[in-house]
């Protein structure tokens, strides 16, 4: 876990949860922008990814992700400020499952192209063998078949990812099985998701996540304050796309509105 504190009077805390096969270091641009806006930022690497000391590309249970992110959110509470969680792709799925299972005080949730269903199908060996090998050889690893150029149109990011040794090249069959199960449970346990201000931002030309299933989950969520924003033409990684400044500004308006509500309630006491 890495904690970065803004140089300005803090307005709140942003907890960022990265996606599959990547790591927290890819969110430097986003972190710097939040710091400039006056928010502390907490980042971490999920188990088996980035600089985590777990076996790379493997988890025994999706619960490992929930436990890790729970610790980041607990750390955020120590600042006694509004807390906002941003989950990208699989990080969004982790956040959904965590909030479906645990009561955690948050002032807002932002899901960025959340992995609630896949448009991209993994390489055939992983997709076909996952069920059987999950029991016999759960740690067997294969390439997921993901390439940087289907995640973003930002050439600088694509080139950087292609030479990034921290990006996972292989994942285990247990990892894939746990991912699929978590996506199914995100729908089955919809009623357990708390009534919290929710913003879902989705790339309109996402080649990895099935945006129709994201819309379905959003429509089935019976929250009192929710917003769905689709960005036409953008690929999966909306915070890395050439239009990311626009995406960030939209996101900040959502956060600022709810952070201001927190300060108003404090002033009225």
- Positions marked catalytic: 89, 206, 236
Long-range own/partner contacts, residues 119-124 (CB < 8 A, 24 or more apart): 119/206, 119/207, 119/208, 119/209, 119/210, 119/211, 120/145, 120/146, 120/150, 120/207, 120/208, 120/209, 122/146, 122/176
Q: Return the bridge partners of 40, or none.
A: 13
CA angle 168, 232, 241 (to 5 degrees): 40
Q: What is the DSSP letter of 243?
A: T
What residues have CB less than 8 Å from 118, skipping those under 6 apart? 183, 208, 209, 210
Pairing of strands 171-172, 198-203: unpaired
Read off the tokens for 56.
């790379």
The number of CA neighbours under 13 Å toward the Cβ of 38 is 12
Question: Which element (helix H / strand E) includes 74?
Answer: helix 63-77
For tokens 């285990």, the residue is 172
Q: How far apart are CA 87 and CA 138, in angstroms?
A: 26
Pairing of strands 39-43, 2-4: antiparallel
Q: How far apart are CA 79 and CA 40, in angstroms?
A: 9
């Amino acid at each position: 876990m890495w904690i970065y504190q803004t140089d300005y009077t803090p307005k709140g805390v942003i907890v960022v949860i990265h996606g599959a096969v990547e790591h927290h270091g890819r969110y430097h641009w986003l972190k710097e922008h939040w710091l400039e806006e006056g928010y502390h930022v907490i980042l971490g690497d999920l188990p088996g990814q980035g600089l985590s000391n777990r076996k790379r590309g493997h988890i025994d249970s999706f619960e490992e992700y929930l436990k890790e992110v729970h610790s980041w959110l607990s750390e955020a509470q120590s600042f006694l400020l509004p807390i906002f969680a941003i989950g990208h792709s699989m990080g969004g799925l982790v956040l959904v499952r965590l909030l479906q299972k645990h009561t955690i005080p948050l002032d807002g949730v932002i899901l960025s192209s959340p992995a609630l269903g896949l448009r991209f199908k993994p390489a055939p060996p992983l997709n076909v063998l996952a069920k059987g090998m999950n029991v016999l050889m759960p740690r067997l690893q294969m390439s997921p078949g993901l390439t940087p150029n289907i995640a973003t149109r930002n050439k600088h990011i694509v080139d950087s990812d292609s030479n990034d040794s921290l990006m996972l090249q292989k994942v285990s069959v247990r990892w894939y099985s746990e991912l699929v199960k978590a996506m199914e449970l995100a729908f089955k346990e919809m009623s357990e998701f708390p009534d919290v201000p929710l913003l879902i931002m989705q790339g309109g030309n996402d080649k990895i996540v099935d945006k129709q299933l994201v819309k379905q989950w959003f429509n089935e969520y019976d929250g009192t304050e929710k917003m769905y924003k689709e960005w036409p033409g953008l690929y999966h990684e909306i915070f890395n796309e050439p239009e990311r400044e626009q995406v960030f500004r939209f996101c900040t308006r959502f956060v600022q509105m709810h952070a201001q509500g927190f300060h108003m309630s404090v002033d009225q006491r």
